[in-house]
Every structure is written in C-alpha cells, then in structure tokens.
C-alpha cells in the first residue's frame, strides 16, 4: 500500500459551469486550488488531470439514453430535454457539458483505481461529489454521478464492501438510489431534513430495499444544528454501523454547505466542525480500511469564505499535513481573492476566536436526551438501522 496521496486538479475543471448567477460557480474550485497551492499542498498531494470517462464507463451506472441526451444538449443546449433533468433551473445545459461532467467522473474513477492498486492511500477530488445525479437524469446541479461510477468501478474490480459517507447538507439521494438494493455498498448520509430542503428525502426509515435492506443509513437533522450536536450525530449514528460493516474502501463526500454562512441551507456549522469530521473520517479509514480513502467535494455555495478553506483542510488531511485551525491564511491568496471578486477573504483557517477550546462532543454513552431534536433524529436512525448490523440501539 502506498503511503502518499494524490489530488485531481487542473483549471480545465472550471469548465463545469452552469453560467453566471448559478450557485455552483466554478470560482469555488479555482480559489480552493489557489489556497492549496499557497499552503504548499501541491508539493505533498500531487495534482493530476485525467481524461474524461468514456461512454462505456459512464454506462456502468447511467442509462445509454441519458448519456445520449447529455451529449445532444452539450452540442446544442437548445435541445436539452427536461425529461432527463436537463435545461432546468438547477441544471441548465451548456456547451461542453458532457465532456466537463465526464472529466469529473474520470477524476474520481482514477482516484479509486490508484487507491485500489495500492499506489496511494488517499485520493482527493474536490471537483467531484456530484451525489444527486440519477441513473436516468440529472438532478440538483449534478449531471453524471461520479461517486456511483467510482464505487461501481471498485465493485467491478473485486472490492467486496464499500462504505460511502456523505456529510453534505443535502441528502445523498442519487448514490443511495443507485445502490439501494446492493448489500456490498453501505450508503450513509447525514443532512438537514427534507422539510425545508431539496431533495426532501433521506429519512431515518429509508434503509434500502430487497437484498440491500439495512444498507442505506440516513440521519435527518433539524435546521439550526450546530457543531457539537452535528459531530455527536456523525459519531453516534454513522460510525458504529460503518465499523460493523467492515468496509475495504471508504468513499466520502464532503459538501461544505452545512456551514452557517451557506446561502442555500439552514445548518449552523463552522469550518472547524467540518475539519474535525474530516479528521475523524481519516482516522476511520486507517482503522478499518488500511487507509484506503477516496474523498470528494460536493455542495458548498459560499464560494469565498467557506469552500476554499474547507477543501484545503480536506486536502491537507489527506496529505497527512493537517493545517491547524488558527493558521493565518497567506496574504497572497487574500490578494488574489480581492482581485478576482472585490471581496476580502477570510484571515484564518478557523471560524472560532483565537484561544477557543476544541469543540466538545458528548459521547453517546453519557446518555440520550429525549428533549433534544438532534438526539431524537439520531435515535430514529439507530432504531431503524442498528439491529440490521447486530448493534444495540442504546449502548453501541
């Protein structure tokens, strides 16, 4: 097993661009890469630029008719067909859409290949994580589902158990739907509940079906959930099941739209809590999978203050060079932000005041609080899923 890490990046990835005014602006990727470079991470986590996935690889997950529809709309956006989720407000068609989307898939599959081959321990593709795309249609800013294609590649190459963890604020519905009847894949999504938020799915009772029953896990949190409660939910509802599942590879999606400043959702996390979850997941990969970890981006729509810091932390953790939260951000990057956006970038890699104590997370063993809506959400998940894995709802 290799002991290094590798990163997918090239400015060509900013070609995944739905146009001016769309929340998923490619600036977020550009600023992340610039911040990684300023911190010297490109010398540690070597960036590579893969070719787009070919049609046969896309078809391991997506219907041929959908792939053909994306190609037509990519050549002429006026032909976009809403029946395939194309040409909508969320997923407007643009010239080159097929190639840009297929390149993201190519990046994620290359990280899966390199980790599986033992060339590296950790692979990062912060351009990826497009978890809403379905077999037969685009959805939620996602054209092709790079995550599902990557997981399918691992299964096709002999991996018997893959755990997929999704900490984006939105339910990872596309990945779950694609593997909902497959017991080789545990999909675990922790997200704001669907009462106010797209896609409106991912409740504790949604546990997969047929032979995959018990292998889809969902934690649906109330709006306003903040750092300590969110980390408690991750550790108490998801980690015990992942440990019981004993995955051989860990694939994770790190949408940072859980942040309190994100304009599209209603959780209240700091970048510090996001970083802590990354550290916890990294440790889990070493505990369970001999370090085999593919980490991906996802949502995140505060393009300057949040996304670059969150995914720079992710890249640094994958490179075994974590950045301390109170580290000052290089002035050169802040000058670039001002030149590109007219905004003042954040000064530190933390949202918490200097001298703050680490986030304290109450272990589940200290007790369940029935008056806490977060604990109620955790307990609903534990009641729905734990018995399927031989776990005790109260004590494990």
Q: Looking at 122, 132, 191, 266, which residue is catalytic?
A: 132
State both tokens at 93.
């068609």
What is the 8-class DSSP label of residue 330? P
Residue 282 designated active-site: no
From residue 360, alpha-carbon distances to 157, 232, 240, 330, 356 in Å are 41, 9, 19, 29, 11
Strand-pairing partners, residue 307, are none
Residue 112 sits at φ, ψ, to 5 deg, of -65, -40
What is the 8-class DSSP label of residue 139? B
User: In whole angstroms, what is the distance from residue 241 CA to residue 218 CA?
Assistant: 11
Omega of the bond leading into 384 within 30 degrees of 0 (cis)? no
From residue 39, alpha-carbon distances to 32, 158, 170, 306, 328 in Å are 11, 37, 30, 16, 10
Residue 110 sits at φ, ψ, to 5 deg, of -60, -40
Strand-pairing partners, residue 163, are 186, 250
What is the 8-class DSSP label of residue 213? T
User: In whole angstroms, what is the distance from residue 266 CA to residue 192 CA?
Assistant: 7
User: In whole angstroms, what is the distance from residue 32 CA to residue 53 CA?
Assistant: 23
Q: Which are the catalytic amino acids?
A: 132
């Amino acid at each position: 097993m290799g002991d290094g890490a590798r990163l997918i990046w090239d400015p060509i990835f900013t070609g995944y661009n739905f146009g001016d005014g769309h929340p998923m602006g490619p600036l977020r990727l550009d600023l992340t890469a610039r911040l990684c470079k300023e911190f010297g991470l490109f010398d540690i986590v070597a960036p590579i630029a893969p070719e787009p996935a070919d049609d046969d690889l896309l078809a391991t997950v997506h219907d041929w008719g959908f792939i053909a529809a994306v190609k037509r709309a990519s050549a002429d956006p006026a032909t976009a067909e809403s029946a395939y989720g194309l040409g909508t407000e969320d997923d407007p068609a643009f010239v080159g859409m097929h190639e840009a989307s297929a390149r993201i898939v190519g990046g994620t599959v290359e990280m899966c290949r390199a980790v599986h081959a033992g060339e590296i321990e950790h692979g990062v593709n912060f351009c990826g994580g497009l978890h809403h795309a379905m077999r037969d249609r685009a959805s939620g800013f996602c054209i092709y589902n790079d995550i599902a294609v990557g997981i399918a590649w691992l299964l096709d190459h002999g991996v018997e158990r893959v755990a997929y963890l999704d900490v984006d604020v939105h339910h990872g519905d596309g990945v779950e739907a694609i593997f909902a009847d497959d017991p080789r894949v545990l999909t675990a999504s922790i997200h704001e509940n669907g009462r106010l938020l797209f896609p409106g799915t991912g409740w504790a009772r949604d546990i997969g079906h047929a032979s995959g029953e018990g292998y889809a896990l969902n934690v649906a949190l109330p709006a306003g959930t903040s750092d300590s409660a969110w980390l408690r939910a991750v550790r108490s509802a998801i980690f015990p099941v992942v440990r019981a599942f004993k995955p051989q590879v860990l694939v994770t999606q790190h949408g940072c739209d859980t942040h309190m400043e994100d304009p599209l959702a209603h959780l209240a996390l700091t970048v510090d809590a996001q970083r802590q979850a990354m550290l916890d997941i990294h440790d889990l990969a070493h505990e369970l999978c001999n370090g085999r970890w593919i980490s991906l981006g996802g949502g995140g729509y505060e393009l300057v203050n949040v996304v670059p810091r969150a995914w720079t932390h992710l890249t640094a953790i994958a490179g075994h060079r974590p950045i301390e939260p109170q580290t000052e951000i290089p002035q050169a990057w802040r000058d670039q932000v001002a030149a590109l956006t007219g905004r003042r970038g954040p000064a530190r890699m933390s949202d918490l005041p200097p001298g703050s104590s680490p986030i304290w997370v109450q272990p589940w063993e200290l007790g369940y609080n029935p008056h806490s809506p977060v604990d109620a959400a955790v307990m609903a998940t534990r009641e729905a899923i734990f018995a399927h894995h031989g776990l005790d709802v109260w004590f494990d």
